[in-house]
């Protein structure tokens, strides 16, 4: 399905001056559409605004972002990935309040999505408790802990069963004759 707009409003868009980090620089000459998008394939929320064909906001909402109302009609948030602070000027306080509510809602959804993806990662990347201690696939071998690249020994291909247990508790060891 891809990325779909889930809420749109109109606002004047600003970015903090990258040189002074104090003054606001308008990135649109007039009010433009500012939309929240949801990408169902990546489970990501973004704020996007275009001025013509130019993207003036492309900000992925993360759980640690905060939208701050700084006046009755102005709000801002910092985007560390874009290395900027965005500001939005609204025509009414009610539009600002609605945008801020949606920001909080999608920030929470992003937090939940991040937790779920971390749980999945932990389930798929947790090392098996059944692995043999001397498993050659282990990233920490005695050879890789100390020494220079010249000193490192590359692991030999797997030995016959009597020299190396298979990574399963159910494996039976039979000497090859």
What values do phi and psi take at 144, rounded to 5?
-90, -10
Can you give the pLDDT at residue 172?
44
Residue that the structure tokens 């609605």 belong to: 98
So where are the chain's domains? 3-119
Q: Is residue 8 within 8 Å of residue 34, measured between CB atoms?
A: yes
Query: By mean pLDDT, which of 21-35, 61-75, 79-93, 134-148 is the weakest?
Result: 134-148
* pLDDT given at position 1: 58
119 versus 70: which is more confidently predicted? 70
Give the architecture-level CATH label for domain 3-119. Answer: Roll (2.30)
In this predicted model, what pLDDT tens digit does every residue of 113-166 receive, in sequence order? 888 877 777 777 655 554 444 444 444 444 434 444 444 444 454 444 444 444
The pLDDT, as a whole number, for residue 176 is: 53
């Amino acid at each position: 399905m891809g990325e779909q707009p889930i809420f749109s409003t109109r606002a004047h868009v600003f970015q903090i001056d990258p040189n002074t980090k104090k003054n606001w620089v308008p990135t649109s000459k007039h009010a433009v559409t500012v939309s929240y998008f949801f990408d169902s394939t990546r489970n990501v929320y973004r704020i996007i605004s275009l001025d013509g064909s130019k993207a003036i906001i492309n900000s992925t909402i993360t759980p640690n972002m905060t939208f701050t109302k700084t006046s009755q009609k102005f709000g801002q948030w910092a985007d560390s990935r874009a290395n900027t602070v965005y500001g939005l000027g609204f025509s009414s306080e009610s539009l600002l309040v609605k945008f801020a509510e949606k920001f909080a809602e999608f920030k929470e959804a992003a937090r939940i999505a991040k937790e779920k993806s971390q749980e999945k990662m932990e389930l798929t990347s947790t090392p098996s408790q059944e692995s043999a201690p001397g498993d050659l696939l282990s990233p920490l071998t005695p050879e890789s802990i100390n020494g220079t690249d010249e000193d490192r020994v590359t692991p030999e291909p797997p030995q016959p069963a009597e020299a190396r247990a298979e990574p399963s508790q159910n494996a039976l060891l039979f000497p090859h004759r």
